[in-house]
Chains A and B, each alone.
Chain A
Amino acid sequence: AQRVTQPEKLLSVFKGAPVELKCNYSYSGSPELFWYVQYSRQRLQLLLRHISRESIKGFTADLNKGETSFHLKKPFAQEEDSAMYYCALRRNAGNMLTFGGGTRLMVKP
């Protein structure tokens, strides 16, 4: 069975500090990984996906199949990055996403 684990429920950093939100997954097939973000009073929305290999709002994430991880990183956190972040996995068959428990990022001034 597939599983997504986000070990940190809360991550607090100061503005300008690097941030890394951890995501580990278990799935025997070829997964597709996503990061979704929910800002205060806004809808959950896609931040980035591994197949796009892009940087969104300064965030990047690399799929490491050896370590089964898809950590989200940003070199210099901004206050506007404060939000709830969810890592999600899609199996190579079907169209459903399995989400992790989420990490709340707080960026302090």
Chain B
Amino acid sequence: DAGITQSPRHKVTETGTPVTLRCHQTENHRYMYWYRQDPGHGLRLIHYSYGVKDTDKGEVSDGYSVSRSKTEDFLLTLESATSSQTSVYFCAISGPTGAAYSGANVLTFGAGSRLTVL
């Protein structure tokens, strides 16, 4: 479905433990993103990547790190999970930019990963 998968889909962990979420795409898209979805806040960008080993921070990056060692995989790591990081995490991908491309700037989302930190 849309060539983007997230794992795990559900995870319960304890405060202070490390957690890694994986996003895998088969579309060969350049851009990949991690968002978190919280009631009342909508979706907020955590980190994004514009190529292999090229990443940058979003608006809520504190407490999170990312890595992209190959085009198809984008990992989100919580080094020491806190209860405030309980959320639904969405990965998204987007292809080439530019008005000439009909799919330019359109994000395709994964199914989401629900993380609960106790």
Chain A contact residues, CB within 8 Å of chain B: 4, 6, 9, 32, 34, 36, 43-46, 49, 51, 86, 90, 95-102
Would you give the shortest CB distance from A35 to chain B, in whole angstroms? Answer: 12
Taking the closest CB of chain A, its distance from the CB of B103, in whole angstroms, is 9
29 contacts between A and B (CB under 8 A): A6-B42, A32-B105, A34-B106, A43-B2, A43-B109, A43-B110, A45-B109, A46-B106, A49-B105, A51-B99, A86-B42, A90-B105, A95-B31, A95-B48, A95-B50, A95-B94, A95-B97, A95-B105, A96-B48, A96-B58, A97-B45, A98-B45, A99-B44, A100-B42, A101-B40, A101-B41, A101-B42, A102-B42, A102-B43
Q: Which residue of A lies closest to B107 (CB)?
A: A97
Contact B40 A9 (CB under 8 A): yes
Determine whether the beta carbon of B45 is less than 8 Å from that of A96.
yes
